[in-house]
Amino acid sequence: MKSPIDPASQPHSRLLLNMSILITGGGSQIGLAAAQALKATHPSVPIIFATRSGSRIPSAFKTVTVDFADPSTFDNAFNPDVGPIRSVYLLTPHGPDPSRGLITFVNKAIENGTKRFVLLSGSILVKESMHPGAKIWRHFEEEDVEYVILKPTSFIGKCQPDQLPEEDTQWFAADNIKTEFAAYIRESDSFQTAVPTGKIPMVSSKDIGEVAARALIADKVESNEVVIIGPQLLTFEEVSPQRRKNK
């Protein structure tokens, strides 16, 4: 899958000089995939995870304690031991208005010299809406910083901290169905969706993570809004765990 962002194929990208990359959201699916992609292509670049608990983070990566609900923890990501943070990957946390904590964190990062932010959202997000992601999007523009909004389609799958699965769109989708709809499947051996027969260009965590890594490391942001789609149109029936098991 080709990203409209310059993949920073140059071995001596300007952004690689005396910089670190911060990945928020703890051991999230896309954050882990992005870190693995960065480690594979730019092994000398320090990658730091901002996490509340430190769980699910591979031992190869440094962690700092950050809780978006507690601004007193924000300085942990910008202390001298961490070093300058050039780019930040942002995952919107759960809560009644998560944009407040995230915007406060963005302001703290800007104060400490961070130049670029990569925000994970979804393909239906529009900048003018009242969605938390849209509020953060507009804040990026108000602050005149470099930013990329990642807008993947369904379905984000699950990757393991120590090993990314083989590139199998259906595996990722099936795994995510089990994660997101587990309660419904246990109760009735089924789940409901607004598009029961519609075909969707489902995309894997690995692909999204690779695009995120390119956005974080590229010399130049070529597009502020990047829609990420999978290579194949699939229905939920085609990727359901039961169908996969019966094959």
pLDDT tens for residues 89-123?
999 887 778 899 999 999 999 999 999 999 999 88
The average confidence (pLDDT) of the chain is 80
Which pTM value belongs to this model?
Answer: 0.80
Between 247 and 238, whose confidence is greater?
Answer: 238
CA distances from 163 to 28, 94, 138, 205 (A): 14, 26, 35, 12
E strand or H helix at 71, and its extent? none
DSSP 164-182: PPPS-HHHHHHHHHHHHSH
217 closest CA partner among 10, 16, 2, 4:
16
* 21-67 per-position pLDDT tens digit: 999 988 888 899 999 999 999 999 999 999 988 778 888 899 999 99
